[in-house]
Each structure stands twice: as structure tokens, then as C-alpha cells.
Amino acid sequence: MDGRRISLDIEEYPNTEVQKNQVLTLEEWQDKWVNRNTAFHQEQGHQLLKKHLDTFLKGESGLRVFFPLCGKAVEMKWFADRGHSVIGVEISELGIREFFTEQNLSYSEEPITEIPGAKVFKSSSGNISLYCCSIFDLPRTNIGKFDRIWDRGALVAINPGDRKCYADIMSSLLGKKFQYLMCVLSYDPTKHPGPPFYVPQAEIERLFGKICNIHCLEKVDAFEERHKSWGIDYLFEKLYLLTEK
């Protein structure tokens, strides 16, 4: 650990408003996939999810698991292979097609009648359905409730001004006795505009605290060489478990 790095007990940055007007359009997110600017994708899956998977699943079977802003997350196949039903939403059709191709899964596609121009991609096995649309259009599909939500690269990617709307949608999707696992990032937001955006614990409590118990399971040093180009010198990832109050 060199002198620049800061301990895991770092105080969260006090100015939570500094990124509030930052906006990325859906087209800009789609361009990231086209231009292969997808360093956020983790080919080996998320190590904190792997570590806490038993806590998350609690030995239950046949769960409905939701992946907001899913990209081509390999973890979707982890859950499907364990017999769970996986539903994701992703704006990039390219990302969705790459998921099925890279996981060697055959699939079909059909229009989403409630959302003009949108599609849903379904694995031939029937236990993975990925909706290609804006997450803010998703409530029109009557997608149902979920037992589990894995939110990695989702809340931190939502424009800060849209977080309340996003949280309301997430809250509407929670079934009884849900487990909502969420990863957020902590860094100095005056040095990097995002995304991924800085999300302090106070923001999670503001968005979800009325209906959820919020527990930080773990925080880890996530700083890599590539993050130097962001202008930051520390980056921590925090894993939160949200449960029914």
C-alpha cells in the first residue's frame, strides 16, 4: 500500500451534490458497447457476489432474480444454471446478443408490445429473459415481482437526477422476503465526473431506507491502474444487502 492510498475506513466524501447535474444519454451508453468502451464488464464475474452467494440465495430454489442494466453479465448464467429464473434489462441490443453468444446459449427474440421498438430476448431453455429497453419503460411490461435483485453497475450508472425514479421502480419490483444486493463505489467525486457515479450510504438510505433494512456486508479496495486516468487516487467498492423492513 503506497502513500497515496487511503484506508478502508475513509470518511465518505462530504459533497454529495457535486455530480448531481451529470447526464449520460441512452445513445451514449449504446455507443460504449459499439466502441468497446466496456471496461465495466467483468469476464470472470463479480468476486464479492461469488463470496456472498450463499448469503444472497439462502439455500432457496426457483427464485426470480432481476439484473437491472445487465449488460452481458456472466452472473446471469450462474443463477440460471442453479435453476433460478433470470430477468434482465439492458439498453444495448449488442450487449444482449453478445451475452447469449458468449455463453453458448440459443435464444429467440420478440417485440415487447407495450414498448414500441423494444424487444425481449429469451433463452431456449426459458429461464433467461433479457429486455432491450430503457429501465424507465420497464414498468409498462407488468414484469412481476422478484425474490432477488443483483444491482452491480446499475445504481452507479443511473444519472444522479434520475435516482429517485430508479429507486421507485426497484422498490415496486420487490417481492416478499426479498434480498437486494447492491454494489456502489466510493471515490472523490470532485476529481471524476462519472459514470460510474459516487453513491454514499446516505444516498442509499434516502432512496431505500423507508422500506428496506440496509446492511454493508463488505468494502474492498477496488483501485486499479486504469483508474488513474479518472484523476482519482482511491476507489472503494461497497457491497450492501437490502432486506424487507
Strand partners, 239: 183, 218
Residue 36 labelled as part of a binding site: yes
Residue 29 labelled as part of a binding site: yes
Residues belonging to the chain: 245
Residue 30 labelled as part of a binding site: yes
Residue 32 labelled as part of a binding site: yes
Residue 24 labelled as part of a binding site: no
Residue 205 labelled as part of a binding site: no
Q: Using CA atoms, how far apart are residues 133 and 96, in angstroms rounded to an integer?
A: 11
Residue 39 labelled as part of a binding site: yes
Closest listed residue to residue 222, CA positions, set 235, 240, 238: 235
Residue 37 labelled as part of a binding site: yes
Q: What values do phi and psi take at 110, rounded to 5?
A: -150, 155
Residue 148 labelled as part of a binding site: no
- Residue 241 is placed in which grid cell? 444487502
Residue 134 labelled as part of a binding site: yes
Residue 90 labelled as part of a binding site: yes
- Detail the residues annotated as belonging to a binding site: 29-40, 69, 90, 134-135, 152
- Detail the residues annotated as belonging to a binding site for S-adenosyl-L-methionine: 29-40, 69, 90, 134-135, 152
